[in-house]
């Protein structure tokens, strides 16, 4: 996932407490699963439907892993996620896209960005729980399957590519806002910004690589 030791160390001071981290990231993975299951339902072919169902399953595995981690600490999953539902639902609505291709692109780009971000942030979590959570978030999210579905459609329809390129650029802003929302609040904004900036530079580079994989200009 292209992490460097320096960004790991820096961002760790902005990692929220374990409960908040788990509540936000577990509900976010559930939202990713919901987006993917919607594109499964509306898939234009049986092949796309079956392929994307595998991708939905991978998001569900991440959600379930994080729920298991919440329960391991003696907490209730729904109660732990509840404070973060409305903000993540709002993010889901603004990024869900206007048609099937925009929705699939959103699943790919926003989940990719946020997984990368949460992995970096989870290095600031304590002990063995932190290690387990990194492993859950770093697990395969089926990007190769999504790229293959989108690439085939873009290659046969160049105007779709132009539209998805614009959509991909639009998604970055909302996704970065959600990433910031997961950080621990702090009083020293200047010092926070100095920590966050190099991480976002890396994550935007990863976003550009995801766009490149579709033949799109970020």
Residue 97 is given by DSSP the state -
Q: Smallest distance, Å, CB 85 to a second copy?
A: 6
Q: Smallest distance, Å, CB 45 to a second copy?
A: 7
Placement of tokens 């169902």 in the chain: 53
**3-state class of 132 per DSSP?**
helix
Of the candidates 110, 87, 88, 90, the one whose C-alpha atom is nearest the C-alpha of residue 39 is 110
Counting every residue written for the chain, the total comes to 218
Is residue 82 a contact point for a second copy (CB under 8 A)? yes
Q: Tell which positions 12-51 bind a second copy, by CB under 8 A.
A: 26-27, 30, 33-34, 37-38, 40-41, 45-47, 49-50
Q: Smallest distance, Å, CB 163 to a second copy?
A: 25
Placement of tokens 């729904």 in the chain: 78
Residue 45 or 201: the one with the smaller Cβ distance to a second copy is 45
Residue 20 or 208: the one with the smaller Cβ distance to a second copy is 20
Distance of alpha carbon 17 from alpha carbon 125, whole angstroms: 8
The pair of three-digit structure tokens given for residue 113, joined into one six-digit string: 């960005």
Of the candidates 176, 154, 56, the one whose C-alpha atom is nearest the C-alpha of residue 102 is 154
Q: What is the per-residue binding string for a second copy in 58-77, x denoting contact by CB under 8 A?
A: --xx-xx--x---------x
Q: Which residues bind a second copy (CB under 8 A)?
A: 26-27, 30, 33-34, 37-38, 40-41, 45-47, 49-50, 53-54, 56-57, 60-61, 63-64, 67, 77-78, 81-82, 85
């Amino acid at each position: 996932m292209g992490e460097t030791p320096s960004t790991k160390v820096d961002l760790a001071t902005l990692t929220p407490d374990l409960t908040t981290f788990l509540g936000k990231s577990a509900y976010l993975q559930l939202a990713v699963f919901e987006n993917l299951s919607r594109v499964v339902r509306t898939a234009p072919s049986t092949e796309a439907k079956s392929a994307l169902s595998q991708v939905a399953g991978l998001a569900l595995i991440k959600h379930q892993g994080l729920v298991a981690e919440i329960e391991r600490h003696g907490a209730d999953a729904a109660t732990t996620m509840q404070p973060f539902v409305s903000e993540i639902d709002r993010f889901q609505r603004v990024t869900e896209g206007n048609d099937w291709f925009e929705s699939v692109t959103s699943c790919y780009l926003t989940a990719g960005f946020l997984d990368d971000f949460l992995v970096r942030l989870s290095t600031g979590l304590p002990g063995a729980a932190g290690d387990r959570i990194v492993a859950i978030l770093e697990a395969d999210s089926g990007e190769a399957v999504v790229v293959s579905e989108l690439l085939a459609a873009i290659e046969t329809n160049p105007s779709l590519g132009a539209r998805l390129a614009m959509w991909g650029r639009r998604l970055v802003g909302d996704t970065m806002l959600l990433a910031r929302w997961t950080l621990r609040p702090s009083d020293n904004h200047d010092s926070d910004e100095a920590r966050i900036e190099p991480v976002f530079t890396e994550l935007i580079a990863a976003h550009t690589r995801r766009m490149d994989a579709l033949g799109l200009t970020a």
